């Protein structure tokens, strides 16, 4: 069975700025892959390419063994949670769930979204009134309603409190039993807890990739933070920005 994601020597330029350069990796079926890197590393650029929101300047990407560009994006096989999710005005949790179930063409999907987000008691509450953690659970549940084979999440836990982060992580661990999950994040502790494999991206280049345990062993690191600085160290300043 073809790997869900294969990225081959991909580059992405914005004018004279090279956001990604010669990036190659593959994601196997099942499990959670962390796309790690400092601010400005190119995580969102790579995420947008994988989500079909932009095209590479060169190189190739294939999803489920099919080239990504020059044919319709396999939207029914992929779920996407953006870094800044759209928060509609004036609609309730139930209506939000109904909207996404309808868009994905899943009959009876709305109650499933609400249940998976554990918002049964908050169905009539406006989405904009949810806490950060509740909203994020709703967004993830909505992106899973069509049972995608690949789930892409860009900074899913940004701005969440530790309890909400843990709850969201638990959901993703359950999802990853049947779905390949890619999380773009710069939250090392979250990645350490969730990710079976990691991609370290710095300055638009992939510095290291592989199973988390192998990356730790190769770097001689005790935890992922040490490994992160081992692979990315001199290229990250005190604010976590790529230099």
Q: Which of residues 105-144 bind other proteins (CB under 8 A)?
A: 105
User: How far apart are the C-alpha atoms of 115 and 196, rounded to whole Å?
Assistant: 27
- Assess 90 for contact with other proteins (CB under 8 A): no
Shortest distance (Å) from residue 83 CB to other proteins: 9
Alpha helices by DSSP H, listed for 61-122, are 93-103, 109-116
Q: Which one of 11-19, 51-59, 112-120, 181-189 is the stretch in contact with other proteins (CB under 8 A)?
A: 51-59
Alpha helices by DSSP H, listed for the chain, are 43-50, 93-103, 109-116, 132-143, 162-175, 188-194, 212-219, 224-232
Kindly provide the b/e burial profile for residues 187-209, where b requires at least 16 CB atoms within 10 angstroms of the residue's own CB.
Answer: bbebbbbbbebbbbbbbbbbbbb
* Phi-psi category of residue 181: left, alpha or beta, with phi > 0 → left and psi -120 to 50 → alpha: beta
Complex with other proteins: residue 78 or 198, whichever CB lies closer = 78
H or E element, residue 60: strand 58-63
- Assess 60 for contact with other proteins (CB under 8 A): no
The SS3 call for residue 16 is coil
The SS3 call for residue 243 is coil
Among residues 15, 86, 124, 177, the one that binds other proteins under rule CB under 8 A: 86
User: How far apart are the C-alpha atoms of 138 and 182, rounded to whole Å?
Assistant: 18
Token pair for 137: 């659970």
Shortest distance (Å) from residue 48 CB to other proteins: 9
Shortest distance (Å) from residue 36 CB to other proteins: 22
- Assess 87 for contact with other proteins (CB under 8 A): yes
- Assess 13 for contact with other proteins (CB under 8 A): no
- Assess 207 for contact with other proteins (CB under 8 A): no
- Mask for 165-204, x = binds other proteins (CB under 8 A): ----------------------------------------
Shortest distance (Å) from residue 80 CB to other proteins: 4
- Assess 51 for contact with other proteins (CB under 8 A): yes
Bridge partners, 160 (sequence order): none
- Positions touching other proteins (CB under 8 A) are 51-53, 75-76, 78, 80, 82, 84-88, 100, 103-105, 146
């Amino acid at each position: 069975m073809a790997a869900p994601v294969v990225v081959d020597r991909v580059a992405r330029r914005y004018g004279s700025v090279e956001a990604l350069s010669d990036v190659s990796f593959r994601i196997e079926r099942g499990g959670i892959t962390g796309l790690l890197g400092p601010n400005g590393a190119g995580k969102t650029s790579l995420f947008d390419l994988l989500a079909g929101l932009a095209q590479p300047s060169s190189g190739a990407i294939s999803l489920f063994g099919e080239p990504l560009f020059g044919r319709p994006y396999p939207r029914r096989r992929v779920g996407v949670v953006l870094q800044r999710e759209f928060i509609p005005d004036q609609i309730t949790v139930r209506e939000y769930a109904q909207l996404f179930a309808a868009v994905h063409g899943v009959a009876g999907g709305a109650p499933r979204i609400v249940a998976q987000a554990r918002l049964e008691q908050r169905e009539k509450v406006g989405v904009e009134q949810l806490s950060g953690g509740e909203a994020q659970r709703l967004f993830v549940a909505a992106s899973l309603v069509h049972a995608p084979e690949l789930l892409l999440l860009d900074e899913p836990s940004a701005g969440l409190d530790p309890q909400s982060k843990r709850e969201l992580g638990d959901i993703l661990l359950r999802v990853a039993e049947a779905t390949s999950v890619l999380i773009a994040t710069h939250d090392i502790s979250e990645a350490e807890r969730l990710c079976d494999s990691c991609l370290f991206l710095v300055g638009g280049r992939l510095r290291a990739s592989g199973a988390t345990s192998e990356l730790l062993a190769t770097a001689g690191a005790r935890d992922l933070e040490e490994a992160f600085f081992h692979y990315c160290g001199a290229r990250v300043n005190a604010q976590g920005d790529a230099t």
